[in-house]
Structures are given as structure tokens and as C-alpha cells.
């Protein structure tokens, strides 16, 4: 994979170097959530400190380009085939592979040069790489970890991290329980793009007309999505309401084969079905729909909570997605749609009781943190100035 670099501002003179903060946002290409959170935080930092130098990059891809592809393949296999083993490793954080490989000097070439004001990692493997580099002498003045899920696996609690940013008080308490100083743990939310901050354009779910349902059926690399054509056909076939009461949008993402298959079937489908490929403006997509069916990834949960779009959770994978479902259940916001019959029932209930969607929206907004990127950026800037 080619280097994913986003340079928002640079310094060029010795005088500038004295003034400019240099931030490096590190992510891993295992799913899109880590990258999107890093980009959102980079944008917030740049907006609040226009003179700073910012890069957003995958250190594994920079060091050995084929590693992200292999990692995605391994992640997909382990999550689909070794669910219980994956879950145990995720909870315990005892994998010798993660601990050993993240410290290899061979990979250090993918990390930013030092000195650096701050290195901010949205994936724990990148965080461990940065800590190992600092122990070897890299001048990273601050190292931060940003947790992009609503559950906390055993790999996150680490000595030497200057600050953690988490999605909810539940996670902050868990980090403290595992021995971290409460002063280093900050509940700011998962960084989201500015488009998720509510504006007048946000509409309450289903004010009138057909129920508008979007199904996020595409996956990134190893996504392990429950988005096959068979699943879609079975679910939509079980809805069992009048044709004019519901409309579907299927987002296939990068899965061009799935999009083509759904397009071929849509003409004979019992309801109106349209398709989308890669969607660049997710907030606009959400604003135009009433209900979303999707895998419960951390970023998806954060986005739907922030804007109040009801989320029906498709089949969760082991580890972080299972933890995200547990979080929603604890807070009374879980709609379980992992089986086609369950998803169809959720759609029927939404059509029969539209007021319940608005109640869901109000409850979700109490948990959502649409300004998480700015809150995180503000805290970092207050420490490094």
C-alpha cells in the first residue's frame, strides 16, 4: 500500500521551526475507522492551530507496503474462523506477536522523524511502535492514544503514554481500574468529521413518507460484513409491508461485485432498492435516511449516536464489535438485526411506530459526541503549548 500522507501545513525556515507544532497522526489500515478518526483529529488540530505541521500516515505501510494487506487478510481469517480465540486474545491483550512485532527496529522507518511535538495513534499497534521508538531515543515529546471503539481490549493500557482519549466514561473507568492514572484519561469521544456536528439541516427520523433505510453492505479489506446478496434478498423479502412504505439504499463501498449483483436484482425486488459505491459524504447519507443497518464498528456507532440516526446492528464480529454491541445494550440503545428476520422486524416496527424512532434519536444524542475531534484537539494543544 502506498504511503497515506496528508500534509496540511509545513514549516520551512529556522524561525518557523521555533514556532510550529509538529503532529503525526498514526493509524493502521485494518478497516477505515482508524484512518477516519485520524483525519478528523488532524483537521481539528489544523483548524485550531493553522501554523502547525501535520501528517497522517500508516507506519506499517510506510515501512513495508505489503504488511497492511497481509494484516487485513490475517484479521479477516482470525475474526471469521477463530472467533473465541480472537475474543480471548482481544480481551486479555496477551498476544506475544503484537508485543514483539511492534518493537521491531525493522518497522521504525515507517515512523515520523524526531524531534516531534506529539505522536497521536488511533490504533494500539501504532501506539506501541511509537513508545518503542521513544525508548530507543526518538524525541517524541508527547505520545497519545485515541481509542476508536466503545470497548477496551487488553492491549491498550501501557506505561509511557502521556494521555488517552476515549469514547465514554465506561472506558475511562476501565483504564483506571487497570492501573492508569485518572489524570491521563480523557473522555472526549471518538473523533468525527465536522459534518456530524448537528445543524438545522438534520431532520427527525421519518417525519413523513416512506421509511428510508440504508444498508451498509460493503466492507474495507477484511471487513467480514454480512452484506451478501442472499442476506439482503432474504431480509427484504421478509419485510412484508406495502411497497410504498419503505425504500432501501444499499451501500456496497468498494465491493463493485456486490453493487452490480444488487443492481441486477433490484428490478425484480419487492421494494425500491438503489445502490451506492464508496460514499464520501457519510453525514449527508445519514441525513437523507431514517434507519441504518450496519456492522457495529466503533466509528459507525459514534457517528449514528452523534447525529441521532437509529442503528440496527448487523452481525458483530468478535472483539471490538462485540464490545460495541455490549455498550449499546448497557445504555438501552441496542437494536439487534444480525439475522434477516430480526432486521425485517425492526423495519416493520419503525413503520408502525414512527414516534419510537424520534425517542431513540433523543436518547442517542445524550451519548453522542459530535464535537469529539475539537475536544481532543483542544486538550492536546493545551498541553503542548
Residues 6+ positions from 268 with CB-CB distance below 8 Å: none
Kind plus residue range of the DSSP H or E element containing 139: none
Looking at 34-187, which runs of residues are DSSP E strands?
A: 53-57, 116-121, 140-146, 163-166, 185-187
Contact yes or no for 147/178 (Cβ under 8 A): no
Bond preceding residue 115 cis, omega within 30 of 0: yes
Q: CATH code at 133? A: 3.40.50.2000
Structural domain span for residue 322 = 196-367
**Within this chain, do residues 241 and 255 fall inside the same structural domain, yes or no?**
yes
**Mean predicted confidence (pLDDT) in 74-96:** 59
**Within this chain, do residues 162 and 213 fall inside the same structural domain, yes or no?**
no
Q: What is the DSSP letter of 10?
A: -
**Within this chain, do residues 185 and 53 fall inside the same structural domain, yes or no?**
yes
Per residue in 21-73, pLDDT (tens digit) is 999 999 998 778 899 999 999 999 999 999 999 999 999 888 776 666 666 65
How high is the pLDDT of residue 357? 82
**Within this chain, do residues 170 and 272 fall inside the same structural domain, yes or no?**
no
Name which of 44-48, 272-276, 350-354 the model is least confident about.
Answer: 350-354
Domain assignment of residue 3, yes or no:
no
Contact yes or no for 85/114 (Cβ under 8 A): no
Assigned C-alpha cell, 331: 445504555
Q: Which residue has the higher pLDDT, 9 or 41?
A: 41
How high is the pLDDT of residue 196? 85
How high is the pLDDT of residue 15? 42
Q: Which residue has the higher pLDDT, 206 or 324?
A: 324
Please state, rounded to an integer, the average pLDDT across all residues of the chain: 84
**Within this chain, do residues 238 and 335 fall inside the same structural domain, yes or no?**
yes
Is residue 158 predicted with pLDDT exceeding 70?
Answer: yes
**Within this chain, do residues 181 and 59 fall inside the same structural domain, yes or no?**
yes
Distance of CA 153 to the CA centre of its chain: 15
Tell me the whole-structure pTM to 2 decimals.
0.86
Q: What is the DSSP letter of 316?
A: P
User: Could you tell me which residues are beta bridge partners of residue 335?
Assistant: 312
Domain assignment of residue 235, yes or no:
yes
Amino acid at each position: 500500500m502506498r504511503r497515506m500522507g496528508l500534509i496540511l501545513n509545513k514549516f520551512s525556515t529556522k524561525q518557523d521551526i521555533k514556532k510550529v507544532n509538529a503532529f503525526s497522526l498514526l493509524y493502521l489500515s485494518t478497516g477505515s475507522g482508524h484512518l477516519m478518526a485520524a483525519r478528523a483529529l488532524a483537521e481539528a488540530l489544523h483548524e485550531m492551530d493553522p501554523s502547525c505541521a501535520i501528517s497522517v500516515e500508516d507506519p506499517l505501510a510506510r515501512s513495508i507496503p505489503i504488511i497492511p494487506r497481509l494484516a487485513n487478510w490475517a484479521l479477516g481469517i482470525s475474526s471469521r474462523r477463530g472467533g473465541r480465540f480472537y475474543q480471548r486474545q482481544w480481551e486479555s491483550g496477551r498476544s506475544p506477536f503484537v508485543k514483539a512485532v511492534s518493537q521491531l527496529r525493522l518497522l521504525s522507518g515507517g515512523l515520523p522523524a524526531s524531534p516531534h511535538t506529539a505522536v497521536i495513534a488511533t490504533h494500539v499497534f501504532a501506539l506501541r511502535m511509537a513508545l518503542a521508538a521513544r525508548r530507543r531515543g526518538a524525541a517524541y515529546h508527547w505520545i497519545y492514544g485515541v481509542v476508536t471503539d466503545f470497548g477496551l481490549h487488553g492491549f491498550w493500557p501501557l506505561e509511557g503514554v502521556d494521555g488517552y482519549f476515549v469514547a465514554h466514561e465506561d472506558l475511562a473507568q476501565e483504564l483506571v481500574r487497570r492501573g492508569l492514572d485518572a489524570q491521563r484519561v480523557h473522555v472526549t469521544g471518538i473523533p468525527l468529521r465536522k459534518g456530524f456536528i448537528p445543524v438545522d439541516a438534520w431532520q427527525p427520523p421519518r417525519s413523513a413518507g416512506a421509511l428510508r433505510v440504508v444498508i451498509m453492505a460493503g466492507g474495507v479489506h477484511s471487513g467480514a460484513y454480512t452484506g451478501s446478496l442472499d442476506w439482503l434478498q432474504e431480509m427484504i423479502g421478509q419485510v412484508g409491508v406495502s411497497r410504498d412504505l419503505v425504500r432501501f439504499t444499499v451501500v456496497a463501498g468498494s465491493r463493485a461485485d456486490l453493487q452490480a449483483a444488487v443492481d441486477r436484482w433490484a428490478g425484480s425486488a419487492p421494494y425500491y432498492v438503489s445502490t451506492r459505491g464508496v460514499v464520501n459524504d457519510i453525514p449527508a447519507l445519514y441525513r437523507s435516511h431514517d434507519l441504518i443497518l450496519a456492522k457495529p464498528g466503533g466509528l459507525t456507532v459514534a457517528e449514528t449516536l452523534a447525529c441521532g440516526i437509529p442503528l440496527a446492528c448487523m452481525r458483530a464480529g468478535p472483539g471490538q464489535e462485540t464490545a460495541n454491541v455490549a455498550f449499546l445494550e448497557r445504555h438501552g440503545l441496542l437494536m439487534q438485526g444480525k439475522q434477516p428476520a430480526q432486521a425485517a422486524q425492526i423495519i416493520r416496527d419503525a413503520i408502525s411506530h414512527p414516534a419510537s424512532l424520534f425517542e431513540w434519536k433523543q436518547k442517542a444524542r445524550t451519548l453522542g459526541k459530535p464535537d469529539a475531534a475539537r475536544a481532543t484537539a483542544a486538550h492536546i494543544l493545551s498541553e503542548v503549548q
